[in-house]
Amino acid sequence: MQIQSSRFGKIDIQSSDMLLMPHGLIGFETCRHWILLSSEGNEEVAWLQSVAQSNVAIPVVSPRRFARNYRAHVSRRELALLHIHTEDQLYILSVVSKSGITLTANLKSPILLNASRHLAIQVVVTDEQPLAMPLGLTNAAAVRRAA
């Protein structure tokens, strides 16, 4: 299958690589199918590309790369949406935003990804977390590409 992306051009994907987000993302509730793409030349940043909307690509990072002790406190009801089994691979991703020249990660509403089941949800954590934690990306070219 081939999808079009305004950021990456034409992309060949397998339908089995698509992620289902039953509730979409905050601000993109109607976008339910996504593909996770690596960022060329920047291993710290990946991209969630909407399958349905070619102009929607959202940079994401692992929050634990920048906040080592980060823990997302999530309700059991929300976790149940991921159909987690003990052998499943789970990941937490934070959406990256740009504020002036500073890149920030949203730790308040992470994306929880059950990679084994290709299922993800965005949640609002129940504990105090920053909505915009500054990231210490040091490579200036990587910063320009990320946002």
Residues 6+ apart with CB under 8 A from 54: 3, 4, 5, 6
Distances (CA, A) of 2 to 69, 121, 133: 39, 24, 35
Question: How far is the C-alpha of 7 from the C-alpha of 35, rounded, in Å?
Answer: 13
Among 98, 97, 122, smallest CA distance to 32 is for 122
Pick the CATH number of 2-146 from 3.40.30.10, 2.30.290.10, 3.50.50.60, 3.40.50.920: 2.30.290.10
Residue spans per domain, the chain: 2-146
Rounded Cα–Cα distance for residues 119 and 113 (Å): 6
Provide the pLDDT for residue 143: 45
Q: What pTM does this model have?
A: 0.87
Average pLDDT over residues 17-24: 94
Instruction: Note the pLDDT of residue 146.
Output: 46
Residue-wise pLDDT for 85-112, tens only, equals 999 999 999 999 987 888 999 999 999 9
